[in-house]
Amino acid sequence: MMIEKNGTSAGLKIVYTGNGKGKTTAALGMCVRAAGYNWKICLIQFVKGSWKYGELEGVKRLEPNLELHTVGEGFVGIVDDDKDIEVHKKAASEGLDFASEKIKSGEFQLIILDELNVALKLGLVTRESVEQLLDNCPDSLHLVITGRDAPGWLIEQADLVTEMTEIKHPFQNGLPAQKGIDW
């Protein structure tokens, strides 16, 4: 059942942001819920790609309802990144074009643009290109955008915004990221 806006069925624009853990995890939880209603879901990951994350295998259990596409070239400027920034920009731009095609296709009830906020913050994609993408969303589509540092203009346009705030993290006590929990 869709939420009514101005008397017509409409999808929501949802943003998960903040410095705390759980943004992608919350979006993946939405995938599980939506698959339970037999929705068609598309998850597109920006700024990821060089590591093997648990969700890459886990979401296969939601097929054929869920498609996962990793369009990034991995982390930018940190950890194991030795790529030129232009390589990352090209991948993010092509990923945004790919997302636009998926949005226009009309075959999905839920599309998640994972870490798009980070791509915006790093200048891999422009505000204008993301605004154009948002403007071209069908009214019936639920669109989720994740990542730290969501810009104010995106927060303003969203119907639902949740900010994850870190209170305590095992990393502060010297514990590394945990398989199945963090990646």
Q: What is the domain range of residue 30?
A: 10-165
| 37-87 per-position pLDDT tens digit | 999 999 999 986 555 677 778 889 999 999 999 887 666 656 665 667 788
Domain count, the chain: 1
Contact (Cβ atoms closer than 8 angstroms) between residue 24 and residue 165: no
What's the CA gap between 62 and 149, in Å, rounded? 29
Domain membership of residue 3 (yes or no) is no
Query: What CATH number has the domain bearing residue 92?
Result: 3.40.50.300
Model confidence, pTM: 0.87
In a domain, 1, yes or no: no
Please give the full DSSP string across 168-182, using - where no structure is assigned: --GGGGTPPPPTTTT
pLDDT in tens, 77-90: 566 656 677 887 89
Q: How many CB atoms lie within 10 A of CB 26?
A: 15
Instruction: Provide the 8-state DSSP code for 2.
Output: P
